[in-house]
């Protein structure tokens, strides 16, 4: 009886952790096509608290599991807020993982995490040490002090940090210092009085000062581009188009999924005119992704959802469709033989549009008939043409035609289902894994065996422990 109870406990723990990791791969607390943002945030916050309270060590190690930035930030904050509950034997590993994950976050997210410490009144010794170490490892602390000035000031005050050089005067001196020896600080001071100096500042800082000086939008956007990051260029491209300013975007620097989303935002005529350039950019980005995360596959079929629900939401516009398009190019580059089957027939994926009902059954039948070694389905799992058509096909295929599972079938879901704290499954006969970005696919294919239920809790723990070693080695 005791052995049975232990086995049941391990099974529940494994299912809980798989559910949590899957949620952390896809959920960003934003509105989805089938769910509002509030429900997403409440659902994922409850799940965080549940896993933290019951499996603290594994909750911490989830930081190394390839989850998205939103959930990494939540884990860091919750661990720092509850540091007194950390067992002494795990304190060093937990601190190292928090520091490594915080450093790896994009700068704007890292600074936001530290500012949240102040807003949530988290001010213990470890949180102050984390803030201090984060500042010390910055390559250009002066640049960050200008670009994130208000956040930097709030964090330095909250954590009682000692600031080197002119940082203290710059952040707290109320402009009593007439001239700064630090070049960027001096440019920032001059930009309050000189419109010319504005163009030497980071874009987000310069934008407010440009408005103060009354600089016309089109003039400002045309002259500030050298100071803009790639993400800023993408974000403000629509604004630039309205003012007939050409934003120079280096497609070769864009990550695969971000590039796919950018291409889908372009008008169809533009995609047709620039087809060679855009196609080549996607192929190069896919090849670069595979150099970073090698993936070699045999005969692969992809079932890709381009139904109307793949248009996403106002906050995640075309996100599911962008993930599908990026996955198409990644699998094509990684496979010896490859064939894509879309829910709506298309001769050119670059010209794809989200439209129609979700008919997964037809492309799935075509994919299975093609005879692939691996079938990857990228869809939110809500099929309605006919309802449960693909689910029934998968059940019959597994029970009658492929009981030994010679063909691997994996459902990659880019959308979190807040109602039941999970991803909406297409069928319980195949594993469902979260997929925030196509670049995560190599990791998710390895994680699929845990979602399938064929691996034990011990194997999942070993998997997370190995991911921790890899993360802390970097």
What digits encode the pLDDT tens for the residues 308-325? Answer: 888 877 777 789 999 999
The whole-number pLDDT of residue 1 equals 47
pLDDT band at 376 (very low <50, low <70, confident <90, very high): very high
With a CB cutoff of 8 Å and minimum separation 6, the contacts of 341 are 301, 302, 303, 304, 363, 364, 366, 367, 370
Hey, CA dihedral for 237, 238, 242, 244, is it positive or negative?
positive
Residue 240 has pLDDT above 60, yes or no: no
pLDDT tens sequence across 263-311: 998 899 989 999 999 999 999 999 999 998 888 999 999 999 999 888 8
More confident residue, 370 or 40: 370
pLDDT band at 242 (very low <50, low <70, confident <90, very high): low
Q: How far is CA 471 from CA 65, 193, 393, in A?
A: 9, 46, 40
pLDDT band at 117 (very low <50, low <70, confident <90, very high): very high
pLDDT band at 327 (very low <50, low <70, confident <90, very high): very high
pLDDT band at 37 (very low <50, low <70, confident <90, very high): confident
Beta strands 416-417 and 408-413: pairing type?
unpaired
When pLDDT is averaged across residues 144-168 and rounded to a whole number, the result is: 89
Percent of the chain with pLDDT over 70: 96
pLDDT band at 443 (very low <50, low <70, confident <90, very high): confident
Q: How far is CA 366 from CA 107, 305, 371, in A?
A: 45, 14, 9
With a CB cutoff of 8 Å and minimum separation 6, the contacts of 315 are 30, 31, 37
When pLDDT is averaged across residues 238-260 and rounded to a whole number, the result is: 72
The whole-number pLDDT of residue 247 equals 67
Percent of the chain with pLDDT over 90: 52
The whole-number pLDDT of residue 464 equals 92
Instruction: Tell me the HSE value of 39 on the side-chain side, using a 13 A CA sphere.
Output: 13
Rounded Cα gap, residues 287 and 163, in angstroms: 43
Instruction: Tell me the HSE value of 434 on the side-chain side, using a 13 A CA sphere.
Output: 23
Beta bridge partners of 375: 301, 409
Q: C-alpha 232: how far from its chain's center? A: 17
Which DSSP letter does residue 397 get? I
CB of 340 closer than 8 Å to CB of 302:
yes
pLDDT averaged over the chain?
88
Residue 67 has pLDDT above 80, yes or no: yes
> Which tokens is 407 given?
């063909």
Position of tokens 């879901």? 413
Rounded Cα gap, residues 254 and 249, in angstroms: 9
Among residues 353, 347, 354, the alpha carbon closest in space to that of 307 is found at: 354
Out of 223-227, 349-353, 406-410, least confident range = 223-227
pLDDT band at 52 (very low <50, low <70, confident <90, very high): very high
């Amino acid at each position: 009886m005791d052995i049975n109870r232990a086995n049941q406990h391990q099974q529940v723990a494994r299912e809980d952790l798989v559910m949590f990791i899957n949620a952390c791969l896809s959920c960003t607390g934003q509105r989805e096509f089938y769910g509002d943002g509030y429900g997403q945030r409440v659902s994922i916050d409850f799940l965080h608290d549940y896993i933290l309270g019951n499996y603290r060590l594994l909750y911490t190690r989830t930081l190394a599991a390839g989850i998205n930035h939103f959930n990494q930030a939540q884990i860091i904050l919750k661990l720092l807020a509850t540091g007194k509950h950390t067992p002494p034997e795990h304190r060093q590993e937990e601190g190292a993982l928090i520091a490594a994950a915080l450093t790896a976050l994009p700068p704007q997210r890292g600074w936001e995490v530290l500012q949240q410490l102040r807003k949530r009144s988290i001010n213990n010794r470890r949180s102050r040490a984390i803030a201090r170490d984060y500042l010390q490892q910055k390559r250009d602390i002066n640049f960050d002090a200008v670009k994130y000035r208000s956040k930097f000031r709030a964090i330095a005050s909250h954590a009682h940090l000692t600031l080197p050089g002119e940082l203290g005067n710059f952040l707290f001196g109320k402009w009593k210092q007439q001239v700064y020896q630090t070049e960027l600080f001096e440019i920032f001071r001059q930009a309050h009085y000189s419109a010319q100096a504005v163009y030497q500042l980071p874009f987000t800082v310069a934008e407010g000062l440009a408005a103060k000086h009354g600089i016309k939008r089109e003039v400002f956007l045309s002259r500030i581009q050298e100071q803009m990051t790639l993400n800023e260029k993408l974000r403000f491209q629509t604004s630039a188009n309205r003012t007939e300013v050409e934003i120079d975007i280096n497609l070769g620097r864009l990550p695969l999924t971000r590039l796919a989303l950018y291409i889908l935002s372009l008008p169809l005529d533009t995609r047709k005119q620039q087809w060679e350039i855009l196609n080549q950019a996607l192929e190069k980005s896919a090849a670069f992704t595979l150099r970073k995360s090698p993936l070699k596959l045999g005969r692969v079929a992809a079932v890709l959802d381009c139904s109307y629900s793949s248009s996403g939401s106002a906050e995640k516009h075309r996100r599911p469709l962008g993930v599908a398009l990026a996955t198409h190019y990644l699998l094509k580059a990684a496979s010896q033989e490859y064939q894509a089957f879309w829910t709506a027939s298309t001769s050119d994926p670059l010209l794809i549009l989200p439209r129609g009902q979700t008919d997964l059954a037809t492309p799935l039948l075509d994919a299975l008939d093609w005879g692939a070694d691996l079938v990857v389905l990228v869809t939110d799992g809500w099929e309605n043409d006919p309802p449960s058509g693909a689910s029934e096909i998968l059940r019959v295929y597994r029970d009658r035609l492929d009981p030994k599972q010679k063909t691997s079938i994996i459902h990659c879901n880019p959308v979190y289902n807040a109602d039941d704290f999970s991803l909406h499954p297409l069928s319980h006969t195949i594993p469902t894994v979260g997929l925030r970005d196509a670049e995560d696919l190599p990791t998710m294919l390895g994680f699929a065996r845990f979602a399938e239920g064929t691996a034990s809790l011990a194997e999942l723990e070993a998997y997370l422990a190995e991911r921790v070693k890899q993360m802390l080695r970097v």
